[in-house]
Every structure is written in C-alpha cells, then in structure tokens.
Amino acid sequence: MGESVQTTYDVIIVGGGPAGLCAALYSGRGMLNALLIERGLPGGELLNTDLIEDYIGFESVKGPELARLMTEHAKKFGAEVVMDTVEAIEQRPNGEFLVTTQLGKEYHAPAVILTAGGTPRKLGVPGEQEYAGRGVSYCAVCDGAFFKGEVLAVIGGGDAAVEEADYLTRYAEKVYIIHRRNELRASQILQDRAFKNPKIEFIWNKVVEEVEGEPRGVTRLKLNDTVSGEHSTLTVGGVFIFIGFTPNSGLIKGHFAHDASGYIVTDNHMMTSIPGLFAAGDLRVQLTRQITTAVGDATTAAIAVEKYLTDRAHQKAAPADEREAVASS
C-alpha cells in the first residue's frame, strides 16, 4: 500500500470496501492492470462492523477479519492498492478518465469502477457537531466500549439503527431507540431480537431537536413529538445516529443519471450513463445494500469492464484496418 509510481492503468477502482476489493480481485483474474484507491485501510464499513452473520459461507465472522481476507485475496491476483483520497473523477475528451487525489496524484485509465459507498447522514441539529467525538457517534463498534455503564440513545429505525442498538447493550446499562414513526423499517429478525432485549426501550414518534452537554460530553437530548408537538428531554450519556447514508457520487465531474437521493443509476452491466464509468455497491440505485449485493455488483462490473475495454480496442483499431484493406485492393 505504498506510493504508486505508475499512473496509467486499464481500470481504476475507487473505494476499498467489499465491492472495491471484489472488483480488484476479478480485474486481476481478468489480467487487467488494476489500481484500487482507498482513503484508509481496505475494508470500508467492514472495519466498523463487529460480527457479520449474513455473508454466505461465514456463519459468524468479525468484520475486520473478513476485510483482511478480502484484501489478501484481491492482492493475490495482482491488484495494486494505494491509500489516498480521491477528489474527482473526470472523463477527458478522448474518453479516458482522469482521477485526481488529495495527495496531488493524477491517475489515468479508460475505465473506472466507483465503489466509494457513502457517508453517514447527520441530524443537522444544534449540538450535534459540537459534541461529535464527545458523546455523538456514528459507529457503535468504534465507540461503544467507551460508554460502559451509560444510558445511550440510538436514532433511527432501519437495520443499522436496530442492529447497532443491540450491539451497544453489551456495554450500556440501557439503550433507547428513538424513531420518528411508530414502527420500524428494520428487518423482522432484527426487530424480534431488539424487542426481546431487556436493555432496549423504544421511544416512538419522536425526533431530536437538540443535543445538550457539558465540557466532558453529552448529557441529554431535547425531543419533539411528531404527533402531538410536545417537547421533552431525555438524559443520556451518548447518542448514536443511524439515519442513513449519503452516496459518495459527488466525486463524478459531469452529468450522470441518478435518483433523487443521488444514488447512481446503472444498466445491468453496472455501467453508468457515462461510457466507461461503472458503479457497484452501496452508491448504486438498488433494493437493498448488503455485502452480498456489493460483491455481486462488483463481479458484474469487473467482467463488464473487460468486455468494454476489448470492444473499445476493436473500435479504435477498425479505421486502420479499413485503410489497409483499401490500400491492398
């Protein structure tokens, strides 16, 4: 994962989570000269996940361990991995892509697979930013151990919120799940687990208006009832926010097809509306976002890149062949 001297590749993979690592593996197997750029250690959200129990072949595996295995597997087939932050992906007039990074590097390739995932959505309320890292967190696995014996709040009603609340009960005295509606969006198996957990209590039809605290950290939340409009407070020692992710599709310079939330629209080969730019994983429009769907997308994208590059080479060679045929006739 050292500094790359080479600057031109067959394909550049942006993002090193499960999708990116799988794309790197298949690109290597396809004998493509591939570069994977990841802003941190490869693994993406796997590094922030304690136990994974829904990835086929692994009844139960630690997220960091699965990340390590995936990284080693990708490297075995020759993928080059560099640690840097991509700032822009831009298609040049000749159809090739220029990928620029925070460290001032410029990489070139005729194809790019974007697997950069997303970033946690913020509540956007007073105190959230002020107490970030001092009681406000977006990662239970990262920060849960710092809250032993505390009363905590988890904001959200989807899979991530319910799963992380369950995880936090191993450290916390009590965990409130605060949801703006009166029913969860999480899968039934996760709901059942949470409802049976004696340390979890649900607070329905409430939104956080403000995060309050002291110099040492968060002390309470101001809540608003979405039905009655009544205001209340909740004393907590920390708040974990899981209200979704914003796709990192803003790296793309130029217009591309996307939905109202910014998720990228692709065809069934994972190609975006920009020829040569493919997308896989969490930033693509799809029904669900799991490790299995991420690696499935990436497999398709990497194989589609092989075909795209072959077709592109034939198209570039065709005019010369035609001229030779005319000259010999």
Nearest residue to 237 via CA among 123, 304, 137: 137
Q: Is 139 a catalytic residue?
A: yes
Average pLDDT, rounded, for the chain? 92
For 241-296, what is each residue's pLDDT tens digit? Answer: 999 888 999 999 999 999 988 999 999 999 999 999 999 999 999 887 889 999 99
Cβ-contact 276, 110 below 8 angstroms:
yes
Decide if pLDDT at 320 tops 60: no
Decide if pLDDT at 118 tops 80: yes
Task: Report the distance separating Cα 118 and Cα 124, nearest Å.
Answer: 17
Decide if pLDDT at 113 tops 80: yes
Decide if pLDDT at 58 tops 90: yes
Q: Is 142 a catalytic residue?
A: yes
Q: Phi first, then psi: what are they for 60, rounded to 5°? A: -160, 125
- CATH number for the domain formed by residue range(s) 136-241: 3.50.50.60
Domain ranges of the chain: 11-120+245-324, 136-241
Cβ-contact 317, 152 below 8 angstroms:
no
- Tell me which residue has tokens 């020692």: 237
Please tell me which residue in 143, 159, 282, 297 is annotated as part of the active site. Answer: 143
Higher pLDDT, 317 or 178: 178
Query: Are both 11-120+245-324 and 136-241 of the same fold?
Result: yes
Please tell me which residue in 10, 50, 139, 225 is annotated as part of the active site. Answer: 139
Cβ-contact 83, 2 below 8 angstroms:
no
For 15-55, what is each residue's pLDDT tens digit? Answer: 999 999 999 999 999 999 999 999 999 999 888 777 788 89
Task: Report the distance separating Cα 44 and Cα 164, nearest Å.
Answer: 17
- CATH number for the domain formed by residue range(s) 11-120+245-324: 3.50.50.60
For 174-210, what is each residue's pLDDT tens digit? Answer: 999 999 999 999 999 999 999 999 999 999 999 999 9
Please tell me which residue in 142, 259, 311, 321 is annotated as part of the active site. Answer: 142
Instruction: Read off the amino acid at residue 119.
Output: T
pTM of the model: 0.77
Per-residue pLDDT, 327: 45
Per-residue pLDDT, 293: 94
